[in-house]
Amino acid sequence: MSATVKADTVGGITPAVLVTLAHGEKVLAAHGIMLYKETPVKVHRRTMKSLGVSTAHLMGMHALGDNEESYFFAEFEGPGHVSLSRDRGGEVRIVPLAQNQSVRLRNGHLICFDESVRYYPMVLLKYQDPVPDSNGNHPTRYVFADELTGPGTIVFQSYGNVLSFELKPGEMMRTSVEGLLAAAQSVQIRINWLAGAQLAGTGNIAIPVLDVVGPGMVMVHSGA
């Protein structure tokens, strides 16, 4: 049973999401982002394992530095209202997903999703940091994402404003690493490098960017 998700964007500065749940309806949300709830709404712990994400996979994500990833979601069960907020300025997007339609959403942006949506955290890509650490090594950087597959509704928040694109097959756009918010599963994402300024002390340090190749939906946000 899917919930009716309604976003309340009063004032438009830091939008909150208002979820209206009928009796027995459930919605899953990141732990700790509840703004308020009505008394009849029950809260349960929903393990990642119950969503098909193995503990070994989660531990692997943590080992790579994915600190956003929790072992649990909060499950809110109706009847009543629950309001959720990410405590940041930006836009809330409510996206209905069709059967087997997948979206990869940058981690730390998901607010809530229907129980029917399949959730899987993943490494979107990795690259070597061009700036060496104190030992002269170039640490590996990871970009983490939440893969969400329909049917069902997902709700997420950008930091800053959202720019949406629909790329044709083979069409490419280039974004900063921090700028990418979400992309359809059909979109290919590759790391690329822009030549940086020639600095006397360190030499030429390239800037990592993302080459995003269609077909499919891409969302970029103006805050990171």
Partner 1 sequence: MELETLPGLVPTLLATLGANESIYCEHGIMLYKDPPVGVARKTIQSGGFLKTMERTAVGGIPFFLTEFIGPGHVALSRDGVGEVRMIELAANESIDVAEGSLVCAETRVGYAMEYVKGTNRPGRMIGLWMDRLTGPGKIALHGYGNIISMGLAAGEVVTCDLGALLYKSASVKAQTENLPFGSGFLGKLESFEVLALTGPGKIALQTVDPKVLHY
Name the site residues for partner 1 (rule: CB under 8 A): 8, 10-16, 31-32, 34-39, 43-46, 72, 74, 83, 85, 87-89
Smaller CB distance to partner 1: residue 38 or 129?
A: 38
The per-residue DSSP string of 142-188 comes to: EEEEEEEESSEEEEEE-SB-EEEEEEPTT-EEEEETTTEEEEETTSE
Smaller CB distance to partner 1: residue 50 or 137?
A: 50
Closest separation in Å from C-beta 178 to partner 1:
15
Smaller CB distance to partner 1: residue 11 or 170?
A: 11
Smaller CB distance to partner 1: residue 15 or 152?
A: 15
Closest separation in Å from C-beta 12 to partner 1:
8
- The CA–CA distances, whole Å, from 89 to 18, 34, 160, 162 equal 16, 16, 6, 12
Smaller CB distance to partner 1: residue 8 or 115?
A: 8
Q: Is 62 helix (H, G, I), strand (E, B) or coil?
A: helix
Closest separation in Å from C-beta 35 to partner 1:
5
Q: Is 11 helix (H, G, I), strand (E, B) or coil?
A: helix
Inter-residue contact 155 to 93 (CB < 8 Å): yes
DSSP 8-state symbol, 61 = H
Closest separation in Å from C-beta 152 to partner 1:
22
DSSP 8-state symbol, 90 = B
Closest separation in Å from C-beta 68 to partner 1:
14
Smaller CB distance to partner 1: residue 46 or 104?
A: 46
Closest separation in Å from C-beta 73 to partner 1:
10
Inter-residue contact 153 to 5 (CB < 8 Å): yes
Phi-psi region of 49 (alpha: psi -120 to 50; beta: other; left: phi over 0): alpha
| Distance between CA atoms of residues 187 and 193, nearest Å | 19
Neighbouring CB atoms inside 10 A of 178's CB total 15
Smaller CB distance to partner 1: residue 34 or 189?
A: 34
Closest separation in Å from C-beta 28 to partner 1:
13
